[in-house]
Structure 1
Amino acid sequence: MSRIGGPREEPCSAGATGDPPYRDKATALRALHVPGKPLVLPNVWDAASARLAVAAGFPAVATSSFATAAILGYDDGEAAPVGEVLAGAARVARAVHVPVTIDFERGYRLDPAELVERFAATGAVGLNLEDSDPSTGQLVEATEHAEFLAAVRAAATSLGVDLVINARIDAFLRRAGSPGEQLAAAIARGTQYLDAGADCVYPIGQADPAVVRAMVEAIPGPVNVGYGRQSDLSLADFAVLGVSRVSFGPTLQQHLYGKLGAALFAAVAADRDPFQVER
């Protein structure tokens, strides 16, 4: 994987969002969404994990809302104060030179213009916006969410901000009808969200190869899938299916913290010094 971007920049303010570095990062992020050669995003949660991802060679950095909420001491589902989430996004964007995209749930109830202005000030150039209500877990009507996406895109255009919008589709996650109805809803919603101004769509919660292929073939734009532990599909398999983006969500953080917790509990149970480095 090649790295992209130049020297690290400070987060841009709303008045500086038209500066070339910001536009270049958004353009670079959008260009990485290639069917059959997917952008792989090992979702991070802070500046340190973001730097690890970049050092490993990943060309862009994404966050996970679940993982970010965990380090802030809150549950997922927009429970964390939006100011803290935005501050965390700014720290990640400031820490790395590659494009940064943020899992922004459903926008934390911000008006589209305020959302764009405050989000752009972090220096991140992409964001996820999901189509279910974090407080209830219920799917939002497709037209309502499409109108929200269109309003965010219009606000970005008005403010001179180039945002890469990844529209998450929760039809599978929320089990909206039979499997066939979920697939039909994902395709219909994906098409509608792209028409509304999204750059990519993310039907989360589905890794069946036949279903993924059906979505890729029917949705007229880049498709993001989640790399889940319940799936036997490899990154190469997703590439063959024509996927444009692969996300890991909170999986890496959960794996890392699980290892840490197991080591600490084992040390205490064995009456050992948990901080003694084994040689």
Structure 2
Amino acid sequence: MTTQAEQAQRLRTLHTQPPLVLPNAWDAGSARAIESAGASAIATTSAGVAWSLGVADGGGLSLSAAVGALRAIVAAVSVPVTVDIEAGYGDVAATVTAVLEAGAVGINLEDSTGGVLDSAAVHASRIRTARAAAVAFGIDLVINARVDTYMFGDGDRADTIERAHLYADAGADVLFVPAVVDAPTIRSLAADSPRPLNVMAGPGAPSVPELVELGVTRISLGPAITARAYALATAAATELLTTGTYDALA
């Protein structure tokens, strides 16, 4: 049986053999499906987990609910699991310890709270706290530090790179800049990032091979698959209950 420490090392190694492509999961069933499709690791989406439990993203998901979903996902797959812990659910050290106890070997940690960009110093402190908790636990946790300057800020490139260096110095292993899909910006960020760059792809973004050519190491989809799955459920149910037909399921 693969140990948690071995899974952590596997996840870390995957970042040295790009691209690491992560179609994000939200429950045990989606994680199994994604693993079956050939994924080398599973990343959760906090939005997807929240929606699957009937609550809103960005504050609706509690730590206990997130950890419960994580345990089910870890138990369902054999590949490394990295978990989206939003901005850390308040007590970052306790959160990191809880997700490590549940079997995670990586985290995604955001520098925004409730859609508002936090100060870089605050987030750097979170990263240092997360790293210290992981060291105390004895797992070489992969920390993916999310930089929300384009998602919730003004898209200032200088601020993004300054935050990237600060977060890297604080202990981040990967830097995640969502809401950027144009090739010139991605290439520029990848060139100046002090750590491997993660982008969130989807319709309108460059393809995986193109992203790799631009210098991207890690590619994820965020809640896109979850949103599409629930959109299909809504469309099929609406059709069934109104016209009594099934075309949405064809």
Q: Same fold judged by TM-score > 0.5? A: yes
Match of residue 173 from structure 1: 151
Is 2:72 the partner of 1:95?
no
Is 2:43 the partner of 1:62?
yes
% identical equivalent positions: 38
Structure 1 runs of 4+ with >3 Å offset: none
Within-5 A mapping of 1:236-255 = 236-255=209-228
Cα distance in 2 between the residues matched to 1:271 and 1:204: 40
Match of residue 196 from structure 2: 222
In structure 2, the CA distance between the partners of 1:173 and 1:232, relative to structure 1 (3 Å rule), is closer
Cα distance in 2 between the residues matched to 1:157 and 1:119: 14
Cα distance in 2 between the residues matched to 1:80 and 1:185: 29
| Alignment match of 1:265 (pick from 201, 220, 238) | 238
Describe the SS at the equivalent of 1:154: helix
Describe the SS at the equivalent of 2:146: strand
Cα distance in 1 between the residues matched to 2:67 and 2:196: 26
Shift of 1:151: 1.6
Cα distance in 2 between the residues matched to 1:171 and 1:266: 40
TM-score normalised to structure 1 length: 0.85
Match of residue 22 from structure 1: 4
Is 2:34 the partner of 1:53?
yes
TM-score normalised to structure 2 length: 0.94
Shift of 1:111: 4.2
Match of residue 113 from structure 2: 133
Any unmatched runs of 5+ in structure 1? Answer: 1-6, 8-19
| Alignment match of 1:121 (pick from 74, 77, 101) | 101
Cα distance in 1 between the residues matched to 2:59 and 2:105: 20
Describe the SS at the equivalent of 2:238: helix
Shift of 1:86: 0.5
Cα distance in 2 between the residues matched to 1:34 and 1:242: 12
* Higher-Rg member (1/2): 1
Cα distance in 1 between the residues matched to 2:223 and 2:69: 16
Shift of 1:267: 2.2
Describe the SS at the equivalent of 2:160: helix
Cα distance in 2 between the residues matched to 1:152 and 1:253: 27
Which protein, 1 or 2, shows the higher relative CO under an 8 Å CA cutoff with sep ≥ 6? 1
Any unmatched runs of 5+ in structure 2? Answer: none
Q: How many residues align?
A: 249
Cα distance in 1 between the residues matched to 2:16 and 2:185: 19
In structure 2, the CA distance between the partners of 1:23 and 1:214, relative to structure 1 (3 Å rule), is same
| Alignment RMSD (CA, Å) | 1.8
Describe the SS at the equivalent of 1:189: helix
